[in-house]
């Protein structure tokens, strides 16, 4: 079972426990919400800057990138890239705080061995 499938099962279990419903009903709820999110993005994919904020979870934003001319290094040809519509996700709240990793303390400098002549 793939990790995304395991993640889906964990989410279904959390919804089941949170709402006190059977597993099949929890699966229906999770899939319905995911389907509605997908529909909303499909309807607004052409709207640059469209955003959907889910309180304390994250914010989804539609970004447009215009087509541009690029040089292909191997052949030296210049070609036009296609226009892109991307959905960017930025986490919020506790999730955002957990993303930041504290840097490790600096290691002491290595001492070089001395040669005996």
Judged on CB neighbours under 10 Å (0-12, 13-18, 19+), 68 is: exposed
Average pLDDT, the chain: 87
Greater model confidence, 98 or 59: 59
Nearest to 57 by CA among 11, 16, 21: 11
Q: What is the pLDDT of residue 112?
A: 67
Nearest to 61 by CA among 77, 34, 41: 41
Three-state SS for 88?
strand
Cα 16 to Cα 64: distance, rounded to the nearest angstrom: 37
Q: What is the pLDDT of residue 108?
A: 73
Question: At residue 26, does pLDDT exceed 80?
Answer: yes
Average pLDDT over residues 89-94: 88
Q: What is the pLDDT of residue 81?
A: 86
Nearest to 96 by CA among 62, 51, 53: 53
């Amino acid at each position: 079972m793939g990790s995304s499938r395991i993640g889906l099962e964990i989410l279904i279990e959390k919804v089941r426990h949170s709402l006190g419903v059977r597993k099949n009903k929890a699966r229906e709820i999770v899939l319905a919400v995911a389907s509605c999110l997908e529909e909303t993005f499909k309807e607004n994919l052409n709207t640059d800057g469209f955003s959907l904020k889910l309180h304390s979870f994250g914010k989804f934003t539609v970004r447009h990138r215009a087509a541009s001319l690029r040089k292909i290094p191997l052949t030296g040809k210049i070609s036009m890239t296609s226009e892109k519509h991307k959905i960017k996700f930025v986490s919020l709240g506790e999730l955002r705080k957990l993303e930041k990793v504290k840097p490790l303390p600096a290691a002491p400098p290595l001492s070089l061995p001395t040669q005996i002549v």
